[in-house]
Structure 1
Amino acid sequence: MAAVPAVAVNGVRVGISSQAYLESKAVKETKVLISDLCRQFYNLGWVSGTGGSITIKVHDDSIPKPQQLVIMSPSGVQKERMLPEDMYVLSPDGSFVWEPSPKPYPHKPPKCSDCGPLFLKSVWRSS
């Protein structure tokens, strides 16, 4: 089994999937940014209700770029209703570190974008 990479959060070394890193300011701000962008893009008419997706690598200068997490908006969620807690968090290798919880009926279960692999290639290419 491969060792889980560790990063420093507030001076303490933690694994990239640790609760401390997932709750860090950088991760929270990136989730908020994506939900705000989705709402703005919808209001500008740049995306339709559930069409389109946004993926952003978490920027934190204290964490080496190859270990930074990726935040991805879900598929099938109305862009104007998207919340930070609706976002997926992916590790550098593309595995899910955190997935949104299902919402009660009539909402559909959360689903990561089918374009996820393409988005990940783009995010890591720009590193």
Structure 2
Amino acid sequence: MDSDYPKDHPRNVIPELCRLYYSNGWMPGSGGSLSIKYGEEIYITPSGVQKERIQSEDLFVQTSDGEDISGPSCTKGLRKSQCSPVFLNIYRLKKPGAVFHLHSKSAVLVSLMNNGNTLHLSNLQMIKGIPKWTTGGNHKFTDDVTIPIIDNTHTEDGLIDGMVKAMNDYPDTCAVLVRGHGIYAWGHTWEQTKLVCESYDYLFDVMLQLRAAGVQEIR
């Protein structure tokens, strides 16, 4: 922990979460990216690095308009996350406190197992950990929760049009799956975003195990 910053400052929280998500298998290789809004500043992980080794000084800081405020020393040769344009788009449209992009294996698998543009979940207790973004409050376990799925593109910024359509079509969602790629998720705070990611990963894993057991319908 960097003692120069409060415990809940992004410069402490993001490296801690990167190590946790690497150990979970959600940020393998150099995959995935995290961002947290702190006041009027957005802190974002660098691109193409081993996330479990990120230090507090490695983060990029920018405004919600994409203006760079600060970054790591040029001697480190780090680049801002390629997810930055997608993150900024979500911050503008949804006004969250944090946006995470993870390469969770269960998120990838459920996106590939569904040929349509949505994934539906119901009658699972951990659904109660998922907020209803527009209407407020959290889902009941009996609710039909819809997660939009968009197709992957060769670059992260190529996802923006699909993300915008998904968020407009499903305004209550706080996550979008990218087929064969991973998940983008957000919350009002980084703590809520962490809860959303963990709840969805659990739900996806349950779905996969049920499918493996031959149960095709869990609604």
Query: TM-score per shorter chain, which class?
Result: 0.5 to 0.7
More helix by share: 2
Q: What CA deviation, in whole Å up to 9, does each residue of 1:66-120 have, x standing for no partner?
A: xx1100000011111011110000012111100111456xxxx100112211111
Residue of structure 2 equivalent to 1:111: 79
Task: Verify: 1:123 aligned to 2:103, yes or no.
Answer: no
Is contact 1:55–1:72 with CA below 8 Å preserved after alignment?
Answer: yes
- Bigger CA radius of gyration: 2
Is contact 1:49–1:80 with CA below 8 Å preserved after alignment?
Answer: no
Are the structure 2 counterparts of residues 24 and 39 from structure 1 closer, same or farther at C-alpha, using a change threshold of 3 Å? closer
Residue of structure 2 equivalent to 1:69: 41
Q: State the SS of the aligned residue for 2:69.
A: strand
Residue of structure 2 equivalent to 1:97: 69
Distance 1:115 1:86 in 2: 16
Residue of structure 2 equivalent to 1:83: 55
RCO higher in 1 or 2 (8 Å CA, sep ≥ 6)? Answer: 1
Following TM superposition, by how much is the alpha carbon of 1:123 offset from its aligned partner in structure 2, in angstroms?
2.1
Is contact 1:42–1:80 with CA below 8 Å preserved after alignment?
Answer: yes
How does the TM-score come out when normalised to structure 1?
0.64
Residue of structure 2 equivalent to 1:30: 10
Task: Verify: 1:55 aligned to 2:53, yes or no.
Answer: no
Q: Report the identity percentage.
A: 36
Q: How many residues align?
A: 92
Show structure 1 runs of 5+ residues with no match.
Answer: 1-22, 61-67
How does the TM-score come out when normalised to structure 2?
0.39
Whichever residue aligns with residue 67 of structure 2, its letter is S
Show structure 2 runs of 5+ residues with no match.
Answer: 96-219
Task: Verify: 1:46 aligned to 2:26, yes or no.
Answer: yes
Distance 2:5 2:26 in 1: 30
